[in-house]
């Protein structure tokens, strides 16, 4: 075997490729079972528990963690923080893939996935929150596609079309922020119709605001987290601008995340007081609520502040990881752990292992597509034909 063939074989059988390949194969098998045998074969969903991790994690968590797109583009194009410009394209790409995979995940959860477009073309439910969420997500996914498209058009050499899309940058950014504000908050508003099912410590008339603010926290933290991983694994794809601005992005977004987390902590306490739910804090659910509030809101706010003050980049990066975990915990608490809290343990939802496989499969698809795009398109560098135009 020639040395070139040996090198190609070695580059193909990397740890990432082997693990991702196994996950994809298993995911496709379970996908086949889901769409041929039905939901009952691969899930533990029931009439009492119609939403599982495909909604709690794939949708609620996925939409929150994809918020880096609108947060970053708003910071750069609306608020004028041009020094963070190198973070825009990676954040937009992450947001676009995140929302696209959310839509993919919905096809698994919907009993008859081919009817997913029905609310738009057959039976519009314009008074339903789900209709508003669906409309905003569909529109925002389109906006993200258009915001991402200049990188793809530069790669394809379609200069004229790219020029027209770039002219829409400010309009798309404003439209994206409006749509994100609507559907991020409306996802929380879905739980307003279930006051008897969601534990009082998580149920609040302010829950739409909570969801919107935590999406900003998730977006800021994900930009730091994704940027850290990208600089570790794709540094060879980055130009000098990306390499030079990375520290300023970490410090700036860390400072913003600290302030937003502090504000979120304050309004959560106000919410407990307004609903007079202090007595629940002495229960088992109360202890768990305090773990979320103190461990994943107050603590990262403090750590972000210390890291920013001391310019401790490592502390900020690890705090971003912790904060992302906190957002995941919050969404799972609202949708699964603190939901149906009065049901006996025998009737509580526990995800089927195949549900977990599908969730891991979808995340893996996102990583594969992300790697494919950033190794080919000008995401971490300026295309030579358009230097200074971004």
Structural domains of the chain in order of their starting residue, each with its CATH number? 20-378 (1.20.1630.10)
Say how far residue 252 (Cα) sits from the centre of its chain: 20
- Report d(CA 26, CA 33) in Å as an integer: 11
Is this prediction's pTM over 0.75? Answer: yes
Confidence band for 143, pLDDT divided at 50, 70 and 90: very high
Under a CB-based contact definition with an 8 Å cutoff, are residues 352 and 40 in contact?
Answer: no
**Confidence bin at 3 (pLDDT 50/70/90):** low
For residue 150, count other CB atoms closer than 10 A to its CB.
26
Query: How far is residue 164's CA from residue 150's CA, in Å, rounded to a whole number?
Result: 9
Q: By C-alpha distance, which of 371, 357, 321 is closest to 90?
A: 371
pLDDT of 139 over the 60 cut: yes
pLDDT digits (tens, 9 = 90+) for 253-300: 999 999 999 999 999 999 999 999 999 999 999 999 999 999 999 999
Q: When comparing pLDDT for 8 and 321, which is higher?
A: 321
pLDDT tens figures, 220-253: 999 999 999 999 999 999 988 888 889 999 999 9
Chain mean pLDDT for the chain: 91
Taking phi over 0 as left and psi of -120 to 50 as alpha, with beta for the rest, 123 belongs to: beta
Per the rule left: phi > 0, alpha: psi between -120 and 50, beta: everything else, 382 is beta
């Amino acid at each position: 075997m020639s040395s070139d063939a040996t090198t190609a074989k070695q580059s193909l059988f990397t740890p990432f490729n082997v693990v991702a390949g196994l996950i994809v194969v298993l995911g496709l098998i379970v996908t086949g079972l889901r769409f041929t045998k039905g939901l009952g074969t691969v899930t533990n969903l029931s009439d009492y528990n119609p939403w599982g991790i495909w909604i709690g994690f794939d949708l609620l968590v996925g939409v929150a963690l994809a918020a880096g797109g609108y947060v970053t583009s708003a910071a750069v194009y609306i608020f004028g923080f041009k020094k963070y410009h190198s973070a825009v394209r990676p954040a937009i790409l992450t947001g676009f893939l995140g929302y696209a995979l959310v839509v993919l995940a919905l096809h698994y959860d919907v009993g008859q996935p081919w009817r997913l477009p029905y609310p738009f073309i057959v039976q519009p439910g314009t008074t339903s929150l789900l209709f508003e969420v669906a409309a905003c997500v569909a529109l925002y996914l389109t906006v993200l596609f258009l915001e991402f498209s200049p990188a793809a058009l530069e790669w394809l050499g379609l200069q004229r079309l790219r020029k027209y899309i770039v002219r829409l940058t400010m309009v798309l950014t404003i439209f994206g922020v409006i749509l994100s504000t609507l559907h991020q908050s409306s996802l929380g508003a879905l739980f307003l119709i279930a006051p008897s099912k969601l534990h009082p410590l998580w149920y609040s008339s302010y829950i739409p605001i909570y969801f919107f603010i935590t999406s900003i926290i998730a977006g800021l933290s994900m930009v730091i987290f994704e940027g850290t991983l990208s600089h570790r694994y794709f540094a060879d794809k980055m130009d000098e601008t990306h390499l030079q601005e990375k520290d300023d992005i970490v410090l700036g977004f860390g400072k913003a995340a600290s302030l937003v987390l502090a504000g979120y902590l304050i309004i959560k306490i106000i919410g407990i007081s307004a609903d007079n739910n202090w007595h629940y804090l002495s229960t088992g659910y109360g202890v768990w609520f305090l773990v979320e509030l103190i461990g994943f809101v107050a603590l990262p706010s403090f750590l972000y502040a210390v890291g920013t003050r001391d310019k401790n980049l490592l502390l900020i990066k690890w705090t971003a990881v912790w904060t992302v975990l906190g957002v995941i915990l919050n969404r799972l608490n609202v949708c699964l752990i603190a939901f149906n809290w009065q049901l006996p343990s025998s009737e509580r939802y526990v995800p089927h292992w195949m549900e977990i496989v599908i969730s891991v499969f979808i995340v893996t698809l996102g990583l594969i597509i992300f790697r494919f795009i950033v190794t080919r398109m000008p995401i971490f560098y300026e295309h030579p034909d358009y230097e200074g135009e971004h």
